[in-house]
């Protein structure tokens, strides 16, 4: 049986829901990837991108905007 892929649907507030990203290599739904960091003595969790949950697949989409913001903050 082939699973039906989700399409964008309108929410109650009128905004359009964003469909889940799909892995280009194996077709699985991508999951958000996070890292733990310490800032000003507090532990925070930052989203760094999307990664394929399939063990045999190595597909990754990095969130370059978030990575650039952290690199600029370290230089100052």
As given in the structure block, the two tokens for residue 7 are: 């399409």
CB 51 within 8 A of CB 30: yes
Distances (CA, A) of 5 to 19, 21, 37, 72: 9, 10, 34, 38
| Alpha helices, DSSP H, located in the chain | 64-75
According to the model, what pLDDT value does residue 74 have?
Answer: 56
Count of other CB atoms within 10 angstroms of residue 52: 23
Confidence of residue 60 (pLDDT cuts 50, 70, 90): confident
Residue-wise pLDDT tens digits, 36-49: 888 888 888 888 89
> How much is the pLDDT for 76?
47
Contact between 16 and 8 under an 8 Å Cβ cutoff? The reply is yes
Q: At residue 6, does pLDDT exceed 60?
A: no
Domain limits of the chain? 31-75
């Amino acid at each position: 049986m082939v699973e039906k892929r989700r399409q964008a649907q309108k929410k109650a507030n009128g905004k359009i829901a964003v469909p889940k990203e799909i892995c280009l290599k194996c077709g699985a739904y991508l999951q958000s990837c996070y890292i733990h960091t310490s800032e000003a003595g507090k532990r925070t969790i930052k989203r760094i991108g999307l990664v394929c949950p399939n063990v045999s697949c190595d597909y990754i989409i990095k969130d370059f905007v978030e990575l650039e913001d952290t690199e600029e903050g370290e230089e100052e």
